[in-house]
Chains A and B, each alone.
Chain A
Amino acid sequence: MTDLPRNQHIVASGLVAAVGAWVTYISYTQEPAAAFLFPRMISTVFVVLALWTFGKALLGKSQVGNGLSAQAMKNILPGLIVALIYIFWAAKGLGFYTASTITFFILLSLYDPAPHSEGRTWIKRIIITAGFLAVMYGLFAALLNVYTPREIFF
């Protein structure tokens, strides 16, 4: 617990302060002024609070929030990549149900502690995935009539 959380706090509050500064700049420069009256009010409060937070982080006085440990980042990365590919490409590219099934199965395999070498583990995972798919299809397609993007299969 030495400098890692402190540096992370500086980066995080720095980013928020940067967004605050950008919002304030836009609010005070864009036209029509009447439409930016309210954004001016909130961005002023926003930027003051953000600079306060940033200042505290620089002084190392940020007391709330633990930041991220290296181990946690290593754990998150594979799942996050799979999730982002699913959301930003596969859901539309492959069709909702196909992409959801594949993603569900991959995430299950990535984070399920059961040993990968056993056949039973894989059968269990397939069954859970199928169950999930059935519930989603029943709820959204059959009951609520939501028309989701479909490419391959359904």
Chain B
Amino acid sequence: MGDVFTPFNFMLLLIGTIGGLILGATPGLSPTMAVALLIPFTFRLEAAQGLILLGAAYTSTVAGGAVSAILLKIPGAPANIATTLDGHTMAQKGQGAKALQLSFLASAVGGVFGVLLLIFLTPVLAKWALAFGPSHLFWLAILGVTVIGSLDSSSLVKGLLSGCIGLWLATIGFDDIMGAQRFIFHPAVGGGINVIPALIGLFAIPQVITMFAKGRSSSGAEVIVVQKSPIKAAIQEVFSRKRALAIGTAVGSVIGLIPGVGGQIAGLVAYDQSKKFSPESEKFGTGHSEGVIAAEAANNAMVGPSLVPLLTLSIPGSPTAAVLLGGLLIHGIFPGSDLFDNHPDVAWTFINSMLIGQILMCIFGLYVAGLAASVARVPHSVMAAVVLGLAVFGSYSVQNSMGDVYVMASLGVGMYFLERFGFSAAPLVLGLILGPIAEANFIQGSMIANATSSVGSYFFTGPLNLTLIIIVVASIAYSAWMEVRNRRYTSKEEIMQ
């Protein structure tokens, strides 16, 4: 069953986990880049050892992204966007340590479940992953934008409008299929808008400016305080929020499996669903623990299933899986039946390392939360300067480009002003991430449809298409209804607070 527990292998597991947490928490380093950075280290290791390192790093970078999402409101990766919604609000209320503890515990629960699914249900999951063709991926991307548009804004229209702005920003630069240039109004966007710098700018810069806006204030309330929080209480909290934990884990592992789109929206859809099913739904977005638990359980539950297409069909379903494929190939191991038939020791060592990596990640994460608590008070002046510096270095390091830093800053400053008027960053970023997916699948789908049947029947018939369309419409209708209802019962002044 693989030798994870030899001293050397266990050391690698530790290095992968701790390294992954640090890399994941660094703005600008997505799990994909973090794993790619570790590939050269695996050249000198044996296949199984290299995979221990990569598997552990993958699991913990995904969870590490929550650290900066919660403490700095900079999502480490697109997957952590949903975590900022309640996680950062908790941190602002002084519950940063607790939010971190909850997020790591929920990640571990979701993550272990996801890996168990990978172990026991691989053939079933592989079929499910292939069931999604271009038309379904198109609707799924649209669903992602509408869900977040109705979620993270108190005005449905402005939320959807923010999503549209993001979708438009995604079309800037070369069009992915034809190669035509679109909307290039400045040379810095000639290569299009890179997602990671945009993510950093849209979340971090408004934060910095908000802290500026408080001025040279010295009142006690104006510092970010992270209170110590007993681990036992956090464990009790996580397991008392069974609904959020279950929804997060289930949604994450099912949606995370869908190649291309899944990983980006798993956390978000889980957050949305647990909000709709929660009796305390109005507390979401105000620093509610269920929000953090659902989002983080989902995005770690995704880790195991997201590797199913790679391990069974040899098709990498996500960029990170593609990098892991490279890690396998340099050792002459081909994923697919070859892996389980001829190198079962390697396959199981890899899977076990992810399982144990989840638990180690949780232990170290709880320790990090404790450390964060010991840095008790960070004044706003320091916080603003630190976040600004991290934003600049982080966005530059993605591809060593000053252009990315300019784009990061311009989007960030624009976003600050838009936020003052009810627009929000999360749907905008989702539009930016899902736009290319929606477009490419729309174009491919129409090409296939033109060659075989008609575009209308390709996109609008079939059970999966119809289900997705119904969910899109229902989620918009539900939000519109909630908004109208709330307005009737709440006076205008209260909303304006």
Interface residues of A (CB under 8 A from B): 1, 8-9, 12-13, 16, 19-20, 23, 26, 30, 32, 34-39, 42-43, 45-46, 49-50, 52-53, 62-68, 71-72, 74-76, 79-80, 83-84, 86-88, 91-92, 96, 100, 103-104, 107-108, 110-114, 128, 132, 136, 139-140, 143-144, 146-149
Name the residue of chain A whose CB is nearest to the CB of B435.
A42
Whole-angstrom distance from the CB of A92 to the nearest CB of chain B? 6
Contact present for A100 and B209 (CB under 8 Å): no
Give the complex CA separation of A86 and B183 in angstroms: 27
Contact present for B409 and A49 (CB under 8 Å): no
B236 at the interface (CB under 8 A from A): no
Give the complex CA separation of A46 and B165 in angstroms: 7
Give the complex CA separation of A25 and B208 in angstroms: 35
Q: Which of A32, A39, A92, A139 is B402 in contact with, Cβ under 8 Å? A: A92
Give the complex CA separation of A119 and B194 in angstroms: 44
Ranked nearest first, the 3 interchain pairs of A and B with the lowest CB-CB distance are A113-B218, A64-B422, A65-B422
Contact present for B215 and A111 (CB under 8 Å): yes
Give the complex CA separation of A103 and B386 in angstroms: 10
Residues of A within 8 A of B384 (CB): 79, 107, 111
Give the complex CA separation of A71 and B217 in angstroms: 12
B242 at the interface (CB under 8 A from A): no
Residues of B within 8 A of A62 (CB): 421-422
Contact present for A140 and B393 (CB under 8 Å): yes
B37 at the interface (CB under 8 A from A): yes
Contact present for B182 and A76 (CB under 8 Å): no
Residue-wise, chain B 396-414 has the 8 Å CB interface mask toward A (1 for contact) of: 1100101001100100010
Known: A30-B182, A32-B178, A75-B213. A83 touches B388 (CB 8 A): yes
Give the complex CA separation of A143 and B29 in angstroms: 13
Give the complex CA separation of A79 and B413 in angstroms: 12
Residues of A within 8 A of B164 (CB): 20, 42, 45-46, 49-50
Whole-angstrom distance from the CB of B450 to the nearest CB of chain A? 12
B115 at the interface (CB under 8 A from A): no
Give the complex CA separation of A72 and B463 in angstroms: 53
Contact present for A26 and B183 (CB under 8 Å): yes
Give the complex CA separation of A76 and B380 in angstroms: 13
Q: Which of B381, B390, B419, B423 is A111 in contact with, Cβ under 8 Å? A: B381
Residues of A within 8 A of B154 (CB): 64
9 A-B residue pairings within 8 Å (CB atoms): A16-B161, A30-B182, A38-B443, A42-B164, A49-B157, A75-B213, A84-B409, A103-B389, A110-B381
Give the complex CA separation of A49 and B154 in angstroms: 15
Contact present for A23 and B397 (CB under 8 Å): no
Residues of A within 8 A of B157 (CB): 49, 52-53
Residues of B within 8 A of A149 (CB): 402
Residues of B within 8 A of A100 (CB): 389, 392-393
Whole-angstrom distance from the CB of B246 to the nearest CB of chain A? 33
B439 at the interface (CB under 8 A from A): yes
Q: Which of A30, A53, A112, A147 is B216 in contact with, Cβ under 8 Å? A: A112
Residue-wise, chain B 146-187 has the 8 Å CB interface mask toward A (1 for contact) of: 000000011101101100110110010001011010110000
Contact present for B409 and A63 (CB under 8 Å): no
Contact present for A38 and B421 (CB under 8 Å): no
B214 at the interface (CB under 8 A from A): yes
Contact present for A108 and B421 (CB under 8 Å): no
Residues of B within 8 A of A113 (CB): 216-218, 222, 379, 381
Contact present for B155 and A43 (CB under 8 Å): no
Give the complex CA separation of A1 and B495 in angstroms: 13
B418 at the interface (CB under 8 A from A): yes
Name the residue of chain B whose CB is nearest to the CB of A146.
B397
B128 at the interface (CB under 8 A from A): no
Known: A46-B165, A50-B161, A146-B396. A35 touches B178 (CB 8 A): yes
Residues of B within 8 A of A53 (CB): 157-158, 161
Residues of B within 8 A of A30 (CB): 182
Residues of A within 8 A of B160 (CB): 45, 49
Whole-angstrom distance from the CB of B490 to the nearest CB of chain A? 10
Contact present for B442 and A91 (CB under 8 Å): no
Contact present for A136 and B422 (CB under 8 Å): no
Contact present for B421 and A8 (CB under 8 Å): yes
Q: Which of B171, B213, B443 is A42 in contact with, Cβ under 8 Å? A: B171
Residues of B within 8 A of A96 (CB): 392-393, 396
Give the complex CA separation of A143 and B158 in angstroms: 42
Q: Which of A38, A68, A79 is B171 in contact with, Cβ under 8 Å? A: A38
Contact present for A64 and B153 (CB under 8 Å): yes
